[in-house]
């Protein structure tokens, strides 16, 4: 039985035993959940975070071993982490600044290139590339010193909502009561399903194969992305020490094939795609991690808060939205949910409870536009580059070149990639 099907949402409390009450329970132990729980506690709200894996410490990334989950973090994410006092505590030798992004069309011709430059945009960097574990480990450290935050390694089995709050029944621990529940329990969000929030979901019939490589040529602090004929998308993100992290979105069959490829065959594979441009750009590549694959889909929750008459719940991160990784923005968007929720709760009037309807509606309104725009753009780009007719090919490649010549559009694209957030 899935975790999702173990949770039941009902509207009347059935348990009369004394139950401990806190301000907020955050369900989920990914980066969005951890960052949100820490931020809520820093606001002075008594917070409990619940996830099954919270008692397995995230190892400190050290030495020449690099994690399999590598992310592009936007400057907006950097700002949120700085606000949470996490950014300065990170090991910066394991973060790589991205100063340029070069995106190539599938004709392999020079004019079909989009170049975004931090220098031209007047910003120190366009993004940072680093390990998921680096952020998670540092969030875990900070949580240990936050006396308003308690973590429980458990699974929520049942939820009851009433006028005053939410009761959460856990698999191993005694029940809890909270004024507000934040669901950060990922793409399959059991909480979302059992509260009855609809989702629109679409599979991309693609998987992303991720792996780290050591390259012989300098990557020049540049993130490269190739749209390949047939709809594959291959990104090489720069990492410290002449390494790059690959995200290759491809058919599930090709992904399965790539996962079993020995080093010698990889050389040949890279030589055959994008007219050998990958090897020309980065030199020869030596595999530096075991490749893994992730199925790709688009998900959007119909509501980002609980039922209209009595919400008591906010969705954040992948529980609210999942997108294609071609723009490297899924987590960044989820952390903008966190920043917005923290901002709204931090500024609330003293007479309002954290689950006040006005606040939750404000949260939902503020997150819908940003989410819709980013989901739409990534989805359109993905589909535009999957079309195989000659006209589509010419159009999209011409489009890349055209955008490259428009300073105005480039500026807007960079603004989106920077993903600024506002705490004022």
| Residues making contact with ligand FAD (CB under 6 A) | 3, 27-33, 50-53, 71-72, 155-156, 184-186, 190, 208, 210, 247, 294, 317-318, 325, 328-332, 334
Which one, 393 or 421, has the nearer CB to ligand FAD? Answer: 421
**Rounded least distance, CB 407 to ligand FAD, Å:** 26
Please state, in angstroms and as integers, the Cα–Cα distance from residue 191 to each residue in 163, 301, 336, 356, 368, following that order.
18, 12, 20, 20, 20
Which one, 335 or 397, has the nearer CB to ligand FAD? Answer: 335
Q: What is the C-alpha separation between 26 and 184, in angstroms, rounded?
A: 7
Which two three-digit tokens encode residue 1?
């039985």
| 292, 250 contact by CB (below 8 A) | no
Which one, 32 or 258, has the nearer CB to ligand FAD? Answer: 32
Residues 6+ apart with CB under 8 A from 110: none
**Rounded least distance, CB 295 to ligand FAD, Å:** 8
Which one, 45 or 338, has the nearer CB to ligand FAD? Answer: 338
Which two three-digit tokens encode residue 212?
């780290």
* Residue 59, burial from CB neighbour count under 10 angstroms (0-12, 13-18, 19+): exposed
**Rounded least distance, CB 155 to ligand FAD, Å:** 4
Q: What is the C-alpha separation between 180 and 316, in angstroms, rounded?
A: 13
**Rounded least distance, CB 389 to ligand FAD, Å:** 28
Which one, 187 or 279, has the nearer CB to ligand FAD? Answer: 187
The residue among 364, 371, 346 whose CA lies nearest residue 304 is 364
Q: How far apart are the first and last CA of the chain?
A: 45
Taking each helix axis as running N to C, give the angle between helix 390-405 and helix 407-418, from 0 to 180 degrees, rounded to the nearest 10. Answer: 90
**Rounded least distance, CB 356 to ligand FAD, Å:** 24
Which one, 71 or 304, has the nearer CB to ligand FAD? Answer: 71
Which one, 231 or 334, has the nearer CB to ligand FAD? Answer: 334
Which one, 28 or 39, has the nearer CB to ligand FAD? Answer: 28
**Rounded least distance, CB 6 to ligand FAD, Å:** 8
**Rounded least distance, CB 197 to ligand FAD, Å:** 15
Q: What is the CA radius of gyration of the chain?
A: 22
The residue among 237, 167, 179 whose CA lies nearest residue 8 is 167
**Rounded least distance, CB 228 to ligand FAD, Å:** 16
Q: What is the C-alpha separation between 297 and 315, in angstroms, rounded?
A: 18
């Amino acid at each position: 039985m899935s975790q999702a099907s173990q949770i039941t949402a009902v509207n009347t409390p059935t348990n009369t035993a004394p139950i401990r009450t806190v301000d907020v329970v955050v369900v989920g132990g990914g980066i969005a959940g951890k960052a949100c729980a820490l931020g809520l506690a820093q606001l002075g709200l008594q917070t409990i975070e619940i996830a099954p894996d919270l008692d397995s410490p995230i190892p400190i990334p050290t030495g020449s071993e690099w994690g399999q989950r590598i992310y592009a973090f936007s400057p907006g994410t950097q700002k949120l982490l700085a606000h949470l006092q996490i950014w300065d505590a990170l090991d910066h030798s394991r973060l790589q600044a991205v100063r340029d992004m070069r995106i190539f069309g599938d004709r392999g011709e020079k004019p079909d290139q989009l170049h975004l430059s931090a220098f031209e945009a007047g910003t120190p960097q366009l993004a940072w590339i680093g390990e998921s574990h680096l952020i998670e480990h540092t969030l875990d450290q900070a949580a240990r010193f936050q006396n308003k935050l308690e973590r429980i390694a458990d699974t929520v089995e049942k939820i009851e909502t009433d006028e005053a709050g939410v009761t959460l029944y856990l698999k191993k621990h005694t029940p809890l009561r909270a004024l507000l529940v934040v669901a950060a329990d990922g793409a399959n969000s059991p909480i979302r399903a059992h509260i009855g929030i609809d989702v629109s979901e679409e599979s991309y019939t693609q998987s992303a194969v991720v792996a780290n490589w050591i390259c012989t040529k300098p990557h020049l602090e540049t993130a490269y992305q190739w749209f390949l004929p047939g709809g594959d998308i291959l990104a090489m993100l720069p990492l410290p020490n002449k390494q790059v992290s690959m995200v290759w979105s491809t058919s599930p069959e090709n992904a399965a094939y790539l996962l079993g490829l020995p080093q010698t065959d990889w050389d040949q594979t890279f030589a055959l795609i994008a007219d050998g441009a990958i090897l020309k750009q980065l030199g020869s590549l030596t595999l530096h991690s075991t490749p893994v694959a992730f199925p790709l889909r688009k998900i959007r929750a119909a509501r980002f808060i609980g039922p209209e008459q009595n919400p008591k719940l906010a969705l954040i991160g992948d529980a609210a939205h999942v997108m294609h990784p071609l723009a490297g923005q899924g987590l960044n968007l989820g952390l903008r949910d966190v920043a917005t929720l923290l901002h709204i709760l931090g500024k609330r009037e003293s007479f309002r409870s954290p689950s006040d309807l006005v606040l939750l509606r404000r949260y939902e309104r503020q997150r819908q536009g940003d989410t819709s725009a980013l989901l739409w753009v990534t989805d359109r780009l993905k589909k535009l580059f999957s079309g195989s007719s000659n006209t589509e090919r010419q159009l999209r490649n011409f489009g890349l070149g055209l955008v490259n010549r428009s300073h105005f559009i480039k500026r807007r694209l960079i603004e989106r990639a920077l993903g600024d957030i506002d705490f004022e």
